[in-house]
Structure 1
Amino acid sequence: MPGNSFGQAFRITTFGESHGIALGVIIDGCPPKLPLTAADIQEELDKRRPGRKLTTPRREPDRVEILSGVFEGKTLGTPITLIVYNQDVDSSKYEAIKDVFRPGHGDFTYFKKYGIRDWRGGGRSSGRETVARVAAGAVAQRLLDRWKIEVYAYTVALGGIYAQECDLDFIEKNALFCCDKSVYKKMEQRILEVKKQGDSLGGIVEVRVKNCPSGLGEPVFDKLDAELAKALMSIGAVKGVEIGAGFKVADLLGSECNDEITPQGFLSNNAGGILAGISNGDEIIVRAAVKPISSIEKEQRTITENGKPTTISVKGRHDISAIPRIVPVCAAMVRLVLADHLLRQRMISEEA
């Protein structure tokens, strides 16, 4: 089956291309009577909107329209259709390289799979597709609100600069959604330095979930951590995912790794809030490793669609790093997983 849909009980299907007429999402399975307005969705879309400080100069208002599934400010329980029209498209920079594969992009693989590709900004493989995910995630949050579940996403590393502390109050007060005010300026300066070099940067986004009830997740193959990993890995720029202590567990003893249990709760959280693929009621912690933006001005070797060697320098309006705009995308994907599993759990438990 084509991989344009995600989720089972709370299911989304996204559509649209980077330089097409519009992008959007159809949400099926959303319960009725949830309060929802375009303003609720717009608040999240504005966080990933281009044209902000330290991002691409492409200026898209990303104004969302609700086409179906909502009446008088409440969901109807029927499919919700959301659409965002492209309004600042400029495909001229891609004309000269339309027959050339850009290193790091999906140009080569899309062409091999379909025998045709939309060369305007990457088409369907563009990061712009994520506008639909963020819109859907905002709807999912309305469901999470019933359980008072809170999702926080923020930058913990950028270009080799790592946060040393986490201040959740600071993440909404800076352009990079950085969680550490002591390193924010260094990250900002790093972006400006690399921009002058015609290169790009990667980083790490952390997502935390507070007040998640225990019992979410399906054994054996739909484990909650497996679903979260899939959700985050489905974002084009993400190349690695960690849950809880992550790769550090390889260096620990069992006595160090196990989260001991007391009547008051767990004494540590190396499991990242998930045991045997099922939430344990503790804080869920997940991190996503984000690769550098593939479109760079530095000259690189590549080939044409006919297999001839050539070089390429990608011009145009590109981000230097997927951070900060990928941060709300990561939050959205986590919200979608939680909404889906809340509804799936409700099928077998009266407490969900």
Structure 2
Amino acid sequence: MAGNSFGTRFRITSFGESHGKGIGVVVDGMPPGIEIDPAAIQLQLDRRKPGQSQVTTPRKEHDQVEILSGVFEGKSTGTPIAMFIANRNQKSGDYDQYRDIYRPGHADFGYDKKYGIRDHRGGGRSSGRETAARVAAGALARLLLEARGIRVQAWTLEAAGIRCETCDPSTVEKNPMRACDPSAAEKMLAAVTALAAEGNSAGGIVECTISGAPAGIGDPVFDKLDARLAGAMISIGAVKGIEFGVGFAAARMTGKADNDEMDGKGFLSNNAGGILGGISTGEPISFRLAVKPTPSISLPQKTIDSDGREQIIQVRGRHDPCICPRIVPVVEAMAALTLVDLLLATNETIG
């Protein structure tokens, strides 16, 4: 199976399965001499870990990171940094009934057709639990970005059809939906909780802003900054779409309205979302992601088994009724990894 590595100069390779011994990542390209605080890595993992609230899976995992290599006396050595997160609360028996049945909305069917074998225990490699490795690696990338004054922050903009009407990033970590509007967060929580009680789930929209990034990041044609960010975000299993700046609204605008005019002080608007011609402009980089509803629901659904016979399935187990709150730190991690990789590729000195 290919496709387990991301990046070029700052390259990560993740490994592990949802119900295996654990999840891990090897980070190659971390500059030497950088202070590595395990608590900073753990902080990001704690934001992603399960069991945080009524809108996350009740699976209890401490997600305690163990640094295996690449750090000596608290500093990076320049050699690969390997990190491991043990799985300690699997209930693999919950998935025995799905050994030969494909769960709608999951990767089961595709994995079976491509590889002829699949790990039915929670989806194995296709499980959202794989993103713990990304978050651990992203925490290292964040250290490098923050040293340069670059900040990455994401939040839930919409969930269960309820959209934030205001945006106060300081409130994001103060509500279980990780929404940027406390009032909307309460309504989202009620709607998602009601759907969960019915055995259903909700999708939503996550927004991400990168501030402090200098102009000049990204390359023309195939290595555009927005192309690289889009690839990084779509690699997250639950993400089904992305738009930058005004996004699809640009299709209904005129050139005069959409263009970001300039004066002697800089840009007068930021409809482009901080990227023009695939290169950062120095304005805040902004994009939004469509996050699909959690496919694991307990309502009856039609499906087939591996022999092609029709079946009715009700997915049981421990699942998030809405993925948005826990995907926020994953989005931030992938954005940070993309930026650091591009900065190093342009011979920027970081760290």
TM-score of Structure 1 vs Structure 2, range by shorter chain = over 0.9
Partner Cα distance (1:184, 1:21) in 2: 35
- Residue deviations 1:206-256, cap 9 Å, x none? 010010011100221010000000000000000000111110110010000
1:182 Cα deviation after fit: 1.7
Cα distance, 1:287 vs structure 2: 0.8
Letter in 2 for 1:309: E
1:26-65 superposed Cα distances (whole Å, 9 cap, x missing partner): 0111111111121110000000110111211100000000
List aligned pairs for 1:255-334, cutoff 5 A. 255-334=256-335
Q: d(CA) in 2 for partners of 1:76 and 1:273?
A: 34
Distance 1:33 1:286 in 2: 33
Which residue identity lines up with residue 79 of structure 1 in the other structure? P
SS in structure 2 of the partner of residue 310 of structure 1: strand
CA displacement at 1:311 relative to structure 2? 0.8
Report if aligned partners of 2:144, 2:350 keep a CA contact under 8 Å in 1.
Answer: no
Match of 1:180 in 2: 181
* Equivalence for 2:237: 236
Q: Return the alpha-carbon distance in structure 1 between the equivalents of residues 97 and 252 of structure 2.
A: 50
Structure 2 matches for 1:44-193, cutoff 5 A? 44-53=44-53, 54-193=55-194
1:27 maps onto 2:34 in alignment: no
Secondary structure at the aligned position of 1:207 is classed as: strand
Q: 1:140-182, CA deviations, whole angstroms, 9 ceiling, x for partnerless residues?
A: 0111022110011100000100001110110111111110012
Equivalents in 1 of 2:289, 2:76: separation in Å? 32
1:111 deviates by 0.5
Q: Secondary structure, in 3 states, of the residue corresponding to 1:24?
A: strand
2: CA distance, partners of 1:20 / 1:200: 26
* Equivalent pairs, count: 350
Q: For the residues of structure 2 that align with 1:145 and 1:156, how far apart are their CA atoms?
A: 24
Partner letter of residue 17 of structure 1? Answer: E
What's the CA shift for 1:351?
10
Shift of 1:92: 1.3
Partner of 2:213: 212
- Whichever residue aligns with residue 42 of structure 1, its letter is Q
1:83-113 deviation per Cα after TM superposition (whole angstroms, max 9, x unaligned):
1000000011111121100000000000011
Moved over 2 A (4+): none
Q: Secondary structure at the match of 2:25?
A: strand
Aligned to 2:6: 6
Cα shift at 1:70: 0.9
Q: d(CA) in 1 for partners of 2:253 and 2:79?
A: 49
Helix, strand or coil at the partner of 2:184: helix
For residues 351 and 77 of structure 1, the distance between their equivalents in structure 2, rounded to whole angstroms, comes to 13
SS in 2 for 1:286: strand
Q: Give me the TM-score of the superposition, normalised by structure 2.
A: 0.98
1:128 partner amino acid: R
